[in-house]
Amino acid sequence: MRVKQLKLINFRNFRSFSLVPGDVNLLLGQNGVGKTNILEAIYIASVGRSYRTRRDDETITWGENANRAEVTTLSSEGEELQIAVSQQSDKKICFLEGKPMPLSLLAGHLPVVVFSPENMDLPEASPTKRRRLIDVLLAQVEPGYTKKLLRYNYVLRARNKLLDKIKYHGTGIGELGFWDEQLAKLGRVIIDSRKKYARILNNRLEQCFKKITNNNTKEQKISFYYQSNVQDTDNFKEELEGVRERELRYARTILGPHRDDWSIKINGADIRATASRGETRTALLALKMAEAGVLNSVKGEAPVLLLDDVFAELDKRHSEAILELFNESQVFITATDAEYIPEKVRAAAQLEQVG
């Protein structure tokens, strides 16, 4: 599936913007003119949330006459999808073909992968940001995952509130059994899904890493390592009971997928500790290629690629690695100067001057 048309109203710096994209789209303009905002809008229409902010109202154009931002896409299948954010409610509403659609069902409708300079910060970023990468992938490939994750977060908040009540007021301990059951039931499903796709990612990561480095030996072994603090999901509830004293002391749930993390290792060593910037860039580019490969395999179609000013930081070898993904995908590329873009891309691209 491809984006056939994009319309923005009061979105970021665009009062009104329209684009009829091709297969390869080059968005050129100086910093600050809104090139990244266009990619963000496509991402929101694909996943239901921004990759740049957690506050929906930040996407609304500043000004007293702008109280609602709208992103509308028309797909190659002829489906019109509209997402709107209101300042009054700070909540998104979604319509598919004019009919309300739950946001929890949106992800996967238009598969997407984003490459941005911020990806370089993933190894040093917070576990929350790293978890978001695998959660967005799962939301796109596994129906119902988003709904389960939202339900888990609701249970987590309720359980934390109860732990706080027990600690500071000494009441409600008899209610913990119910919330333990709910947390363990949902947490087990989430962790098992993450581990399943972590294994798939790991296999593809190794293949992609070898393609980029032309490394056909076993000198460098790369792995995607998923870490959960739940030892055995089948005994999740029993493990919760084993940390009861600590949880009551801190008034917080300390076991569960909300505390999980992942890392990339080369020859068994975390890239945060031993890899050079070049090795880190290669590993993360391979991870994004693996992510695109998983989406293509599961969904049966190449994802839309959003490349946010990435060629300026890549050498020829890495640029050629990205070009391998262009064969089937619709691509949106931002850049301040066309000279950073490989000639092969410039020749095939539809040029859009922004600003």
Its domain, for residue 72, covers: 1-106+342-355
pLDDT at residue 85 in the model: 84
91 CB-contact burial (10 Å; exposed 0-12 / middle 13-18 / buried 19+): exposed
Whether 116 has a pLDDT exceeding 80, the answer reads yes
Residue 320 — very low, low, confident or very high, per pLDDT cuts 50/70/90? confident
Question: Strand locations in the chain, DSSP E?
Answer: 3-11, 14-19, 24-28, 68-75, 80-86, 92-96, 99-100, 112-115, 222-227, 261-266, 269-270, 304-308, 331-335, 350-353
In a domain, 270, yes or no: no
Residue 50 belongs to domain with CATH number: 3.40.50.300
**Which of the 8 DSSP states describes residue 330?**
-
**Chain mean pLDDT for the chain:** 91
Of residues 317 and 182, more confidently modeled = 182
Partnered with residue 304 across adjacent β-strands are 112
Domain presence at residue 117: no
- pLDDT single digits (tens) 68-102: 889 999 988 889 999 988 766 667 889 998 899 98
Tell me, yes or no, whether 246 lies in a domain: no
Q: Assign 167 a pLDDT band (cuts: 50, 70, 90).
A: very high
- Domain annotation covers residue 320: no
The three-state secondary structure class of 16 is strand
Average pLDDT over residues 258-273: 95
Say what percent of the chain tops pLDDT 90.
68
Structural domain contains residue 280: no
Q: Kindly indicate the confidence band of residue 65, based on its pLDDT and cuts at 50, 70 and 90.
A: low
- Supply the pLDDT for residue 90: 61
CA–CA dist 172, 162 (Å, integer):
7
Entry pTM: 0.92
Alpha helices (H) along 214-309: 236-242, 244-250, 271-274, 277-299
- Least confidently predicted of 49-58, 170-179, 266-275, 327-336: 49-58
Distance (Å, rounded) from C-alpha 75 to C-alpha 327? 19
Summarised one tens digit per residue, pLDDT across range 15-45 is 999 999 999 999 999 999 999 999 999 999 9
- Residue 115 maps to a domain: no
The total number of structural domains that make up the chain: 1
Q: What confidence score (pLDDT) does residue 314 get?
A: 80
Per-residue model confidence as pLDDT tens digits over 123-147 = 999 999 999 999 999 999 999 999 9
The answer to whether residue 1 sits within a structural domain is yes
Closest-CA residue to 51 (of 117, 99, 100): 117
What's the mean pLDDT in 203-228? 85
Which pLDDT value is given to residue 69?
Answer: 87
Q: Is the pLDDT at 231 greater than 80, yes or no?
A: yes
Residue 133 lies in a domain: no
